[in-house]
Amino acid sequence: MKVLIAGAGSVGRSIAKELLGHGHEVTLIDNVPASMRVASVARADWLLADAASLEALESAGAGDSDVIVAATGDDKVNLVVSLLAKSEFGVPRVVARINNPKNEWMFTDSWGVDVPVSTPRIMTALVEEAVSVGDLVQLFRFHTSGASIHEITLPEDSPVVGSPVGGLSIGPHAVLAAIIREGTPTGADPDLTLEAGDQLLIVLSAEGEQDLSVVQDALAPRPSSTD
């Protein structure tokens, strides 16, 4: 997936690192020379330019981007970037950062915004949601305990589709906390039959981080590569 991030400050760089770690292509654009800390996210492409400019967005590859993230510290800029991304380039998914909660009412589809958010981790997860069916995505980490919350959308070929929740085996350090089906959250009832498209919210203890592959393989195993 190709992602263009407008704003190379701490938020933009944080999102870029997350996405690169998940195997996506990332371009960062910013008009402040001091923000061009290329070495901090060396695997990303960088462009020194005004992201609110049509020409700059075109040069940065907006026309080929699957997602554009407006992550600057200026809400006006984020709205302009979102509008240009959607109206001029037809970007499928536009995620915009809200800096001032008082401006939240403006961050709608009228300005080209698909998802208005303000936390880097949540922004990363929402960006990936468009193409991450079958991928285990970390949404949040509790700093004190080290526990984390992950989400996975069950693909049609998941081995657990058609099986009851009570039959899940996702390791000793993972707990299925909730299921979101067609936008409606529900508890993890042991008798509930899992369906393709279900979003599973899973809580992992700090020890469970090493067992991420166990959870992934149980719910949506990756095809093995052959050389």
In the chain, what are the domains? 2-129 (3.40.50.720), 137-219 (3.30.70.1450)
What pLDDT is attached to residue 40? 92
- Candidates 174, 182, 184, 162; CA nearest to 205 is 174
Task: Tell me the residue ranges of DSSP E strands in the chain.
Answer: 2-6, 25-30, 45-48, 67-70, 93-97, 115-117, 137-141, 148-153, 174-181, 184-186, 199-204
What pLDDT is attached to residue 119? 61
Question: How many other CB atoms are found less than 10 A from the CB of residue 21?
Answer: 10
What does the alpha-carbon distance between residue 226 and residue 34 come to, in Å, rounded to a whole number? 45
CA-derived radius of gyration, the chain: 19
Q: Which residue carries 């997602």 as its tokens?
A: 67
What pLDDT is attached to residue 121? 55
> Is the entire prediction scored with pTM above 0.75?
no
What pLDDT is attached to residue 142? 75
Low-confidence ranges of the chain (pLDDT < 70): 118-132, 143-144, 223-227
- Candidates 84, 103, 104; CA nearest to 94 is 84
What pLDDT is attached to residue 85? 97
